[in-house]
Amino acid sequence: MINKFKDYSIHTFTSPEESGLVNTQIIETKNNLIVIDAQFLLPDASKAREYIDNLNKPIERLIISHNHPDHWFGSELFKDTKIYALKEVKDEIEQLGDTIINNYQFFNHSGPLVPLMKTVPTHILEEGNLTIDGVEMVVKKVVGTEGETISMLEIPRDNVLIAQDVVYSGCHIFLAQNEKDRANWIKTLEELKDNNYKLVLGGHGTPANNEVFSEVIQYIKDVDDCLKNLNSKNETNKEKAQEYKEYMLGKYPNHKAASLIDITLSYLFPENK
């Protein structure tokens, strides 16, 4: 998917549904490429890199939006580039990266899908104005929503927001956050909604417009209701997980990437409890 503007384009490279419709965004300016997020599974990262290399322009930088593995595991395919992240995100990957990678090694049983070693961002991304190749952007930091700290990139002149995982569009949402972060996430989305963006690019799913904020808010509220109901029941985690899945699939029959519900449930209702 490509969205074109006067002197730049934004390419959205999306992974297959099985790996969660993860988006790598590529801002193509006259002379450069700015890449946002590096994919989860190495084969997807490799395809993203191939797509990027076919654009035949130098990668000015890769930006890692947050510390969730579906956005930085593929960084090892970008070791030849400068890798930027907010200080918090860089620190989190530095400190937690090995543990996260170890937790996912079972993915490698039938072939190399996830990295064996972490690739830590090399540079710190500062909040505020960022102009690259004549395109004026603003780096925004969001705290306590889908992830602990997430960077977004706004292009004010065209009302564009590259929101990454603050927004999901047309697919299920990873929602293992605590009640406080869920409430703060809704508040953040309410505020973003007032900006009337023309194009909103999320970390998973399809490119969207300003309506996506209300859609995500509703999804989080539905999860809140579902969890409130489940927490009042005396059931095993396995039963609760099944009910959550049935409830959300029933509410959102057209949403893609049900695998994102399974990941959510592995955090919310671990099977051994």
Which residues in this chain contact Zn ion in the complex, by CB under 5 A?
68, 70, 165, 203
Cβ-based nearer residue to Zn ion, 144 or 203: 203
The two tokens of residue 263 are 């990941």
Q: How far is the CB of 162 from Zn ion (least distance, A)?
A: 14
How many angstroms separate the Cα of 247 from the Cα of each of 30, 105, 107, 171, 250? 47, 31, 28, 15, 5
> Which positions ≥6 away from 83 have C-beta within 8 Å?
61, 62, 63, 64, 75, 119, 120, 121, 122, 123
Cβ-based nearer residue to Zn ion, 68 or 118: 68
Which value, to the nearest 10 degrees, does the dihedral of the CA atoms of residues 79, 205, 66, 163 take?
A: 110
DSSP 262: H
Cβ-based nearer residue to Zn ion, 135 or 142: 142
Q: Which residues pair with 202 in a beta bridge?
A: 164
Q: How far is the CB of 168 from Zn ion (least distance, A)?
A: 8
CA angle 174, 180, 182 (to 5 degrees): 30
Cβ-based nearer residue to Zn ion, 60 or 165: 165
Q: How far is the CB of 231 from Zn ion (least distance, A)?
A: 25
Cβ-based nearer residue to Zn ion, 144 or 240: 144
Q: Taking CB positions, which residue lies at the least distance from Zn ion?
A: 70
Q: How far is the CB of 12 from Zn ion (least distance, A)?
A: 14
Q: How far is the CB of 22 from Zn ion (least distance, A)?
A: 6
Name the strand (E) or helix (H) holding 185.
helix 179-193
